Amino acid sequence: MDVKHSSCCFCSSRGCAVKVHVDGGRIRRVTIDTDAPVVPGAHCPRPSLAAEYQESPFRLDYPLKRKGKRGEDSWERISWDQALDEIAAGLSTVREKYGPEGLATSSGTGRGAWDFAKTRFMNLFGSPNRIGAVTICYGPRSMVWLSTFGGPLVPDSRPGKTRLMVLWGRNPHEGGPSSWHRYLEAKKAGMKTMVVDPRLTEPARQADHWVQIRPGTDAALALGMMHVMIGEGLHDGGFVGNRTTGFEDLAERVREYPPDRVARICGLTKDQVVDAARFFAGNQPSTIVIGVAAEHSPPNSIQAVRAINVLLAVAGSVDREGGMLIAGPAEGFIPDAAMELNHQLSPQQRRKQIGADRFRFLSYPGWELVEEQLRRKWGDQHPAAAYLNCLAHAPSVFRAMLTGEPYPVRGLIVSASNPLLAYANTKLVYRALQSLDLLVTLDVTWTPTARISDYVLPAACWMERPDMGNFCSSGSYPLIQVGEAALPARIPGRYERYDDYEFWRALGLRLGQGKHWPQGTFEEVWEHRLTGIFESRGVKSLAEFIAQRRWEKGTVEPGQCEEGLATPSGKVEIRSTILEKLGYDPLPGYVDPRQPEGEWKKYRLLNISGARTMPYHHSEFRHVEGFRRMHPDPIVEIHVDLARRKGIADGDWVWIETPVGRCRQRARLTTSHDPDIICSQHGWWFPEQSGEEPSLHGAFESNINITTDDDPDRCDPMSGGWPFKGQYMRCSVRKVEE
């Protein structure tokens, strides 16, 4: 048995070190490499199912071209050369007829993707229209950190340093095995814990302090806590006085958020708001780990992420031992931003990015202001990767496909993304995709979106490519952890897959981008990016590096504030110069959501969706029987009182309905949240059902995005994020009658 040292990319924790046991060209089992710095502990079941995943008939093996109509599910096997030649010709036609901005790409999880390569391709092609679910997941956090602190915030994870960890709208028990592992270890060592969540999750059950807020009110709670802290003198006067800008303005602002007002907004008592503030302030230094809850709740997505992070600054738990540290680039490593060739996209083309005139923070206007500061401090080696921090507005791009406004978008390349499941308002997305001149999917497995594509291309998964965690590779952390391919991407007679660097490069070469793709293989890319580290280690190749020790670990040290941060003022910007320049409120605040209008008035329940569900990762793994046995059905959690009123029993199928559409999921009765809230799962489709229209593997059955709204007027005014929680996720439920 051969043992390969690889990096697992089955989820967004991405990059856990694993050992892949290979025999006769087949994966036999995958075990955790416990010596490495990034591991999921014993809490992740996914690697144990890697062999089944790899052998699944749902894996894509060869390039396919559509025969007949879209959605007929009739395919012709073709060679890679034919596929790439024909796609390149199709893209040239789009460019000639509509301009390069007539092409968009869609990104998703790390299953097949290295988004620096896609971004480079798009920059060279001339299109600013990259869309991705990152707009509602991690992108907002990242941009808030970069613009407010001049770098990503990472918790000081050294044992014994932190007194309190706050999980704010985050449940690592389901969604982040490596964080859950670290959390439990620190808890064992005496760290206190606080959870802010409308649901009694496993971390909430185990927490020293649980704050059960209403969905979408995170910003108000953080402002109310600051009101109490500043009013009672519990803030860190030295830190806010010397290291921040705008504290006086903030003190004025939080006067508008006394505990009784905040209590009404958040569904708490006044005492609960005060207690939360005192508990937090009394247990410093602290770290706060934010989940997607705040990011999912327009119109307060960015405001909530800002307010929660500013709360840390008010407590003085930034850039301090045991608090949140400001990370810089990993020394000797070339980060993703420097690989993207962002300077190749002209200012004229950048200005055409769809939605960037309206949603200016997470798109070119905001990214350029942030990038200028990071470049001043770090030159090219900065962490502002465009694929994470600078996106076109997905709902507006789908509308452009349908209406030709503001201009036509006629081609889409989907890689490691499943738009029919991933974006809000599935039926609109479906019509938009059906309207395209060219739809290409590069993925590891079949998906409903692949079934309506013109070309479907098989991507190498992490077991078939050298790889690394994407957070390491963005250059934000002083940690590099690389893994080798366990199997080749092509095995004659079994499959012919391309890793995505190879795909984007091959397409780029056909479109005249040759001189910009100097490395021929993914392995050469890693060797190029690691040259600085290779020199310090005295190694010459990736294989030598992996054989010697496949990680390089530094520490993030406190003290960045003293050196001057990569922000316009060089300080932590409580009052954000960048938001002000973009025409937004420069201070954290809470915006009252609009009251429901028209049809929406009839819908009174709030739906929390988008929570992570073990063992799945968004819409992935439904095709692997081992995963389905663990979690066979889409589940909607309904409070027992609501269920009684509606005549719903545990295990019944129920309709979840909104003015946008309806889907069905199986009821699980609970008391872990308020009776007027339901909690539905996302990403559900049924690989066992027909891939042909109209079923598309049941993509229109239990997929929550059939019910979600992507009206740009209800998206976050700064980021453009669409609602997945909060006041704009209203619905009703009723039992499905047979």
Number of neighbours of residue 61 by Cβ within 10 angstroms: 13
Q: How far is the CB of 181 from ligand SF4 (least distance, A)?
A: 9
Helix axes 500-510, 522-529, angle to 10 degrees: 100
User: Per CB under 6 A, which region of 41-49, 257-265, 341-349, 517-525 contacts ligand SF4?
Assistant: 41-49
Q: How far is the CB of 625 from ligand SF4 (least distance, A)?
A: 17
Q: How far is the CB of 32 from ligand SF4 (least distance, A)?
A: 7
CA distance linking residue 194 with residue 278, whole number of Å: 12
User: Per CB under 6 A, which region of 42-50, 284-292, 559-567, 716-724 contacts ligand SF4?
Assistant: 42-50
Q: How far is the CB of 437 from ligand SF4 (least distance, A)?
A: 37
Q: How far is the CB of 40 from ligand SF4 (least distance, A)?
A: 4
Identify residues 43-82 at the interface with ligand SF4 (CB under 6 A).
Answer: 44, 46-47
Exactly one of 20, 40, 362, 725 binds ligand SF4 (CB under 6 A); that residue is 40
Nearest residue to 447 (alpha-carbon basis) of 130, 111, 135, 117: 111
> Helices (DSSP H) in 49-137: which residue ranges?
50-55, 80-98, 115-125
CA distance linking residue 429 with residue 313, whole number of Å: 40
Angle at 716 between CA 415 and CA 291, to 5 degrees: 65
Q: Pairing state of beta strands 653-657 and 572-573?
A: unpaired
Q: How far is the CB of 167 from ligand SF4 (least distance, A)?
A: 17
**Which residue lies nearer to ligand SF4 by CB, 14 or 235?**
14
The torsion angle over the Cα atoms of residues 53, 457, 511 and 79, rounded to 10 degrees, is 120
Here's the x/- map for ligand SF4, 343-362, by CB under 6 A: it reads as --------------------
Size of residue set near ligand SF4 by CB under 6 A: 12
User: Per CB under 6 A, which region of 40-48, 268-276, 338-346, 646-654 contacts ligand SF4?
Assistant: 40-48
Contact (CB, 8 A) for 656 and 636: yes
User: Per CB under 6 A, which region of 39-47, 497-505, 510-518, 525-533 contacts ligand SF4?
Assistant: 39-47
**Which residue lies nearer to ligand SF4 by CB, 48 or 519?**
48
C-alpha gyration radius of the chain? 24
**Which residue lies nearer to ligand SF4 by CB, 16 or 204?**
16
Alpha-carbon distances of 549 from 8, 387, 480, 716, rounded to whole Å: 17, 29, 11, 44
**Which residue lies nearer to ligand SF4 by CB, 47 or 478?**
47
Tokens (6 digits) for 423 = 């974006």
CA distance linking residue 168 with residue 310, whole number of Å: 14
Identify residues 161-220 at the interface with ligand SF4 (CB under 6 A).
Answer: 177-178
CA distance linking residue 551 with residue 525, whole number of Å: 17
**Which residue lies nearer to ligand SF4 by CB, 47 or 408?**
47
**Which residue lies nearer to ligand SF4 by CB, 48 or 521?**
48
CA distance linking residue 522 with residue 502, whole number of Å: 7
Q: How far is the CB of 698 from ligand SF4 (least distance, A)?
A: 25
**Which residue lies nearer to ligand SF4 by CB, 10 or 600?**
10
In the three-class reduction of DSSP (H, G, I as helix; E, B as strand; rest coil), residue 346 is classed as coil
Q: How far is the CB of 191 from ligand SF4 (least distance, A)?
A: 21
Q: How far is the CB of 12 from ligand SF4 (least distance, A)?
A: 7
Q: Is 188 exposed, middle or buried (0-12, 13-18, 19+ CB in 10 A)?
A: exposed
Identify residues 2-21 at the interface with ligand SF4 (CB under 6 A).
Answer: 8, 10-11, 13-14, 16
Element (H, E) at 222: helix 218-231
Q: How far is the CB of 131 from ligand SF4 (least distance, A)?
A: 24
According to the 3-state scheme, what is the secondary structure of 5-33?
A: EEEECCCCCCCEEEEEEEECCEEEEEEEC
Q: How far is the CB of 53 from ligand SF4 (least distance, A)?
A: 11
**Which residue lies nearer to ligand SF4 by CB, 16 or 578?**
16
**Which residue lies nearer to ligand SF4 by CB, 47 or 323?**
47
- The alpha carbon of residue 542 and the mean position of all alpha carbons in its chain are separated, in whole angstroms, by 29
**Which residue lies nearer to ligand SF4 by CB, 30 or 561?**
30
**Which residue lies nearer to ligand SF4 by CB, 11 or 574?**
11
Which residue lies nearest ligand SF4, judged by its C-beta? 16
- The single-letter DSSP state of residue 510 is H
Write out the residues near ligand SF4 by the rule CB under 6 A. Answer: 8, 10-11, 13-14, 16, 40, 44, 46-47, 177-178
